Structure 1
Amino acid sequence: MILPPLRRTAADAQKVAAIVHAGQTDKAGRPYVEHLARVAAGVLRLSEGCPFWSDEERDEAVQAAWLHDVVEDTSFGFAGLAKEGFSDNVLTSVAMLTKPGGTVTYAAWISNIAKVGTLRGILVKLADLEDNSDPERLALLPEETCQRLLRKYEPAKDVLRTAARAKGWQAA
Structure 2
Amino acid sequence: MSTLTLAEVDALAAEAHAGQTDRIGVPYVEHVRAVADGVAPFGTGLRMAALLHDVLEDTALTAEDLLRAGVPAAVVATVVRVTRVPGAGYEEMLREVVRDHSATLLKISDNAHNSHPDRAAHLPEADRLRLAERYRAARAVLWPAVAAEDVRAVVERVNPALLAELPR
- Name the TM tier (shorter chain): 0.7 to 0.9
Which 5+ residue runs of structure 2 have no aligned equivalent?
154-168
Measured against aligned partners, the alpha-carbon deviations of 1:4-50 in whole angstroms (never above 9, x if no partner) come to: x95322212101000010000001111001101110111125x3xxx
Match of 2:136 in 1: 154
Contact preservation (8 Å) 1:9, 1:60: no
Say which of 8, 12, 15 aligns to 2:8: 12
Q: Does 1:32 align with 2:28?
A: yes
Match of 1:113 in 2: 97
Match of 1:87 in 2: 72
Measured against aligned partners, the alpha-carbon deviations of 1:39-98 in whole angstroms (never above 9, x if no partner) come to: 0111125x3xxxxxxxxxx10000000000011100011121011111111010010011
Match of 2:49 in 1: 64
Q: Secondary structure at the match of 1:26?
A: coil
Displaced runs of 4 or more, over 6 A: none
Match of 1:52 in 2: none
The residue type paired with residue 152 of structure 1 is R
Structure 1 length-normalised TM = 0.82
Larger radius of gyration: 1
Shift of 1:137: 0.2
Highest RCO, 1 vs 2 (Cα 8 Å, sep ≥ 6): 1
Question: Between Structure 1 and Structure 2, how many residues are aligned?
Answer: 153
Which 5+ residue runs of structure 1 have no aligned equivalent?
48-57
Say which of 127, 145, 162 aligns to 2:127: 145
The CA distance in 2 between the partners of 1:100 and 1:152, in whole Å, is 18
The residue type paired with residue 144 of structure 2 is T
* C-alpha RMSD of the superposition: 1.9
Structure 2 length-normalised TM = 0.84
Contact preservation (8 Å) 2:66, 2:76: yes
The CA distance in 1 between the partners of 2:61 and 2:49, in whole Å, is 15
The CA distance in 1 between the partners of 2:92 and 2:62, in whole Å, is 23
Contact preservation (8 Å) 2:83, 2:93: no
Q: Does 1:136 align with 2:121?
A: no
Say which of 109, 125, 128 aligns to 1:127: 109
Shift of 1:125: 0.8
The CA distance in 2 between the partners of 1:170 and 1:100, in whole Å, is 25
